[in-house]
Amino acid sequence: MSADIVLLARAADYAARQHIAQRRKGERAEPYINHLTEVAALLAEATGGSDVTLLAGGLLHDTLEDTDATYEDLEQRFGPEVAALVAEVTDDKSLPKEERKRLQIDKTPAKSRRAKLLKIADKTSNLRSMVTSPPAGWTPARLRDYVSWAEQVVRSCRGLNAALDAAFDVAHADTKRHLG
């Protein structure tokens, strides 16, 4: 158990340092680490903290996509399972945004159980933030499009964890209600 706590502390520290200058897109411009810790907390609560690889993946899930972190660095620091999970949920930023979004819908059904759990926690966190701090400059139509897209991605993640399904459903309903 103590090795798991050390791994999580190191993952939280690494994520905070990698994302130090990043802010959420919302009007409140919260530190990006808030999103990462919320995703990890959702995963911990839903699984009873039983899977340290999943929780570390939750903290690190955007490092390959949004920072200068490398797969090799993650593998060296956190082991091959954590690195592989982070890589599995990482979008290819060389592709256009619309293509990345389409690929998330198309490829999520074939992803591992851990990746699907992480996806649903990530989308839940994103929807929650749209209610409390919607992205600056996003029109209501763009917000509705995001909510619809998130639901399509999560569709293939359902049935793996009742707590995560319920958290997403609440966030989805709140967001739809908020957007009218």
| Residues belonging to the active site | 65-66
DSSP letter at 95?
Answer: S
Assess contact for 38 and 46: CB atoms under 8 A. Answer: no
What whole-number distance in Å separates Cα of residue 64 and Cα of residue 48?
A: 27
By the 10 Å C-beta count (0-12 exposed, 13-18 middle, 19+ buried), 78 is classed as: buried
Return the SS3 of 31. Answer: strand
CA neighbor of 155 nearest in space, from 180, 131, 119: 119
What whole-number distance in Å separates Cα of residue 97 and Cα of residue 79?
A: 30
C-alpha distance from residue 86 to each of 5, 10, 48 (Å)? 19, 15, 21
Assess contact for 40 and 62: CB atoms under 8 A. Answer: no
What whole-number distance in Å separates Cα of residue 140 and Cα of residue 148?
A: 12
